[in-house]
Chains A and B, each alone.
Chain A
Amino acid sequence: MKARAVAVLALVAAVAAAIAASTAGAGSSSAAASQVVNCRGPLKIGLITPLTGGAGFLGQEQLSWTQYAITRLARGLGLRVQLVRGDTPVEKGPGEGLVVAQKMIADSRLVAVIGPATSGAVASASQALFAAGIAHISPSATRTSLTYGSNKEATSGFFRVVPGDNIQGPTDANFMVDKLNAKKVVLIDFQEPYSVGLADSTQAVLRRKGVETIRQSTSVNTTDFSSLVTRVPNDADIVFFPTQQPPDAQTFAQQLLEQGKRAKVFGGDGANGPTQFKLAGSYVSNFAPDISGVASSKALLDGWKKANPSATLGSFGPPAYLATQVALLAIKRACDAGNGRMNTRRDIIRQVKKVRVPSSILGGAFRFSTKTNDPLNAKFYIFQIQPNGTYKLVG
Chain B
Amino acid sequence: MDTFIQLTLNGLTLGSVYALIALGYSLVYGILKLLNFAHGDVFMVGSFIGFGALQLLGGSADPVVPVWLLLILITLAAMAGCAVLGVAIERFAYRPLRDAPRIAPLISALGVSFFIAYSMQLLFGADQRDYDAFSMSEGALFFNGFDIGNVRVPLLRIIIIVSAFVLMALLWMLVTRTRTGKAMQATSHDREAAAMMGIDIDRVIVFAFVLGSALAGAAGVLFALRAPTFAAIGFLAGLKGFTAAVIGGIGSIPGAMAGGLILGFAEAYTQGYISTKWSDLLVFVILIGFMLFRPQGLFGKADIRKV
Number of A-B contacts (CB under 8 A): 97
Pairwise interchain contact A91-B230, C-beta atoms closer than 8 A: yes
Q: Does A138 contact B (CB under 8 A)?
A: no
| Distance of A158 from chain B, by nearest CB (Å) | 26
Q: Does A274 contact B (CB under 8 A)?
A: no
Pairwise interchain contact A53-B125, C-beta atoms closer than 8 A: yes
- A257 contacts across to B, CB distance below 8 A: 142-143
Across the two chains, which residue of chain B brings its CB closest to A221?
B236
Pairwise interchain contact B280-A276, C-beta atoms closer than 8 A: no
- B277 contacts across to A, CB distance below 8 A: 191, 217-219
Instruction: Flag the segment in B7-15, B81-89, B187-195 that touches A.
Output: B7-15
- B268 contacts across to A, CB distance below 8 A: 226-227
Map CB proximity to B onto A146-183 as digits: 1 under 8 Å, 0 otherwise.
Answer: 00000000000000000000000000000000000000
CA A250 to CA B150, docked complex, whole Å:
24
Across the two chains, which residue of chain A brings its CB closest to B275?
A217
Pairwise interchain contact B226-A227, C-beta atoms closer than 8 A: no
Within 8 A of A (CB), among B196-246: 223, 226-233, 236
- A208 contacts across to B, CB distance below 8 A: none
Across the two chains, which residue of chain A brings its CB closest to B232?
A91
- B226 contacts across to A, CB distance below 8 A: 224, 226, 251, 255
Given contacts A230-B6, A254-B142, contact A91 B227 (CB under 8 A): no
CA A176 to CA B284, docked complex, whole Å:
39
CA A90 to CA B125, docked complex, whole Å:
11
Pairwise interchain contact B142-A54, C-beta atoms closer than 8 A: no
CA A248 to CA B134, docked complex, whole Å:
14
Map CB proximity to B onto A199-231 as digits: 1 under 8 Å, 0 otherwise.
Answer: 000000000000000001111011111111011
Of the candidates A89, A230, A251, A276, the one whose C-beta lies within 8 Å of that of B272 is: A230
Q: Does B180 contact A (CB under 8 A)?
A: no
Across the two chains, which residue of chain A brings its CB closest to B152?
A260
Q: Does A52 contact B (CB under 8 A)?
A: yes
Q: Does B169 contact A (CB under 8 A)?
A: no
CA A377 to CA B278, docked complex, whole Å:
41
Q: Does A25 contact B (CB under 8 A)?
A: no
Pairwise interchain contact A228-B230, C-beta atoms closer than 8 A: no
Across the two chains, which residue of chain A brings its CB closest to B130?
A247
- B280 contacts across to A, CB distance below 8 A: 219, 221
Q: Does A2 contact B (CB under 8 A)?
A: no
- A216 contacts across to B, CB distance below 8 A: 276
- A259 contacts across to B, CB distance below 8 A: 6, 151-152
Q: Does A92 contact B (CB under 8 A)?
A: yes
Number of interface residues of A (CB under 8 A): 36
- B154 contacts across to A, CB distance below 8 A: 258
Pairwise interchain contact B236-A248, C-beta atoms closer than 8 A: no
Pairwise interchain contact B6-A224, C-beta atoms closer than 8 A: no
Across the two chains, which residue of chain B brings its CB closest to A52?
B125
Pairwise interchain contact A52-B127, C-beta atoms closer than 8 A: yes
| Distance of A214 from chain B, by nearest CB (Å) | 12
Given contacts A217-B276, A247-B130, contact A227 B142 (CB under 8 A): no
| Distance of A102 from chain B, by nearest CB (Å) | 21
| Distance of B217 from chain A, by nearest CB (Å) | 18
Pairwise interchain contact B228-A218, C-beta atoms closer than 8 A: no
Q: Does A363 contact B (CB under 8 A)?
A: no
- A258 contacts across to B, CB distance below 8 A: 142-143, 152, 154
Of the candidates B127, B227, B276, the one whose C-beta lies within 8 Å of that of A223 is: B227
| Distance of A7 from chain B, by nearest CB (Å) | 31
Pairwise interchain contact B152-A227, C-beta atoms closer than 8 A: no
| Distance of A361 from chain B, by nearest CB (Å) | 28
- B7 contacts across to A, CB distance below 8 A: 227, 230
Within 8 A of B (CB), among A49-84: 52-54, 56
CA A245 to CA B129, docked complex, whole Å:
11
Within 8 A of B (CB), among A227-279: 227-228, 230-231, 245, 247-248, 250-251, 254-255, 257-260, 276, 279
- A279 contacts across to B, CB distance below 8 A: 134
- A247 contacts across to B, CB distance below 8 A: 128, 130, 228
Q: Does B137 contact A (CB under 8 A)?
A: no
Pairwise interchain contact B276-A251, C-beta atoms closer than 8 A: no
CA A224 to CA B230, docked complex, whole Å:
13
Map CB proximity to A onto B43-72 as digits: 1 under 8 Å, 0 otherwise.
Answer: 000000000000000000000000000000
Within 8 A of A (CB), among B13-58: 13-14
Pairwise interchain contact A231-B14, C-beta atoms closer than 8 A: no
Q: Does B178 contact A (CB under 8 A)?
A: no
CA A123 to CA B257, docked complex, whole Å:
45
Q: Does B267 contact A (CB under 8 A)?
A: yes
CA A226 to CA B232, docked complex, whole Å:
21
Pairwise interchain contact A223-B3, C-beta atoms closer than 8 A: no
Q: Does B163 contact A (CB under 8 A)?
A: no
Pairwise interchain contact B227-A231, C-beta atoms closer than 8 A: no
Q: Does B126 contact A (CB under 8 A)?
A: yes
Pairwise interchain contact B126-A223, C-beta atoms closer than 8 A: no
CA A255 to CA B152, docked complex, whole Å:
12
CA A143 to CA B10, docked complex, whole Å:
34
Pairwise interchain contact A251-B6, C-beta atoms closer than 8 A: no
Across the two chains, which residue of chain B brings its CB closest to A254?
B134
Q: Does B108 contact A (CB under 8 A)?
A: no
Q: Does B271 contact A (CB under 8 A)?
A: yes
CA A335 to CA B270, docked complex, whole Å:
61
| Distance of A119 from chain B, by nearest CB (Å) | 19
Pairwise interchain contact A228-B276, C-beta atoms closer than 8 A: yes
Q: Can you name 20 A-B residue pairings with CB atoms under 8 Å?
A: A54-B230, A56-B127, A90-B126, A91-B121, A91-B231, A91-B232, A217-B277, A224-B227, A226-B268, A227-B271, A227-B276, A245-B128, A245-B228, A247-B128, A247-B228, A250-B130, A251-B227, A259-B6, A259-B151, A260-B152
What 6 A-B pairs come out closest when comparing CB atoms? A227-B271, A53-B126, A223-B227, A224-B227, A226-B10, A91-B126
Given A227-B10, A231-B271: 16 more A-B contacts, CB < 8 Å: A54-B230, A56-B127, A92-B126, A217-B277, A218-B277, A224-B226, A228-B276, A231-B272, A231-B276, A247-B130, A248-B128, A248-B228, A250-B130, A251-B227, A254-B134, A258-B142
